[in-house]
Amino acid sequence: MTDLAPSDTVVVTGAAGWLGQNLVRALGDRGRVRCLVASRDEVSPLELVSPSVEVVVGDVRDPATADRLLDGIGGDATVFHAAAIIHPARKVRDLFDVNVGGTQLVLDRARRAGVRRFVHVSSNSPFGANPTPVDRFDERSPYNPYMAYGRSKVEAEGIVRRSHERGDVSAVIVRPPWFYGPFQPERQSQWFRAVRTARFPVVGDGSQRRSMVYAGNLVHGLLRAEVAAAAPGRAWWIADPEPYELREILETVRAALSAEGLEVSGSLRSVPRLVGVVAEKVDGLLQSRGLYQQAVHVLGELKDTIACDVTAAQRELGYAPATTLLDGMRASIRWGLERGMQF
């Protein structure tokens, strides 16, 4: 089977987000790039990317917005659906309204428009934590969703899969883990500050592993999912080639901060793994009541190995991640410093 040529017309939801900003810039030379953003404040930075960029302002949960987004999009178009909530401001319900309801709306309008391919951005959260520190998730791994976000992304994947199986649209699912790189939100800058001043803890002995993905590597994987003959109807893990131990991640970030001229203070500190166990239980209790606290949620996950195997994407999609953890972290820090962010 022969790979497709890249679509001349592309639709990107979540275009003002961390991933969306990187993706739109990679698509800037396409003939037409239509972007969905949530507010008018997010329009100008995208319109400056290229004259080919068109911006639609609205809520992904709104049928009228979905109609405008896909209006006049021809059958040669690709839709990259990246709109999602990871950390809701307060209510767990928002995860399902956006991640499930929004996916259903955009997918339905993509079906009506007869788009060529629908690339859905999922997550590692539908799979929870690896059973042991040496395991890695692959394309055959069973669902074991972690908390409400994981459940919402399982439901969204199911909607996409069923649509493909019915022949409604040629769909691909991409599963990125924790990603990093330019166009980071403020929460990432806060994380850099915490790591730089040794206030971000190593939970347990720090040997638990995490798959991560540099934003540029992830964009490369998405663009391969758009055109690869093997892609439709399947879900693919897209990450850096190897997972990293948590302690290695934090030490690399501190090295990157130092290499970019920032003072790094203190030494990494450890807290017992039990702290993460307690945080997970508190997180579960809060979410059972419809509430969400980001710091508690993140702490509860830090005790676990969450690692994936990208062999299939490398072999069958032609995915070739090029940027290392150190180089990617340095690029992220430089991007922030150039914009006056405080690390």
Strand 244-245 with 209-210, pairing: antiparallel
**Which are the catalytic amino acids?**
149
d(CA 56, CA 76): 20
Strands (E), the chain: 9-13, 32-37, 53-57, 78-81, 117-121, 171-175, 178-180, 202-203, 209-210, 212-214, 235-237, 244-245, 270-271
d(CA 106, CA 20): 16
d(CA 80, CA 73): 13
Residue type, 191: W
Token couple for 224 = 């391969």
Residue 91, strand partner residues = 291
Contact between residue 268 and residue 203 where contact means Cβ atoms under 8 Å apart? no
Q: Of the candidates 123, 263, 130, 279, which has an alpha carbon nearest to the alpha carbon of residue 201?
A: 279
Residue type, 237: W
d(CA 58, CA 39): 7
* Burial category of 191 from C-beta neighbours within 10 Å (exposed 0-12, middle 13-18, buried 19 and up): middle
CA 71 vs CA 106, 113, 276: distances in Å: 12, 8, 47
Residue type, 216: G
Residue 202, strand partner residues = 270
Q: Of the candidates 267, 248, 179, 265, which has an alpha carbon nearest to the alpha carbon of residue 219?
A: 179
CB neighbour list of residue 5: distance below 8 Å, 6 or more residues apart: 227
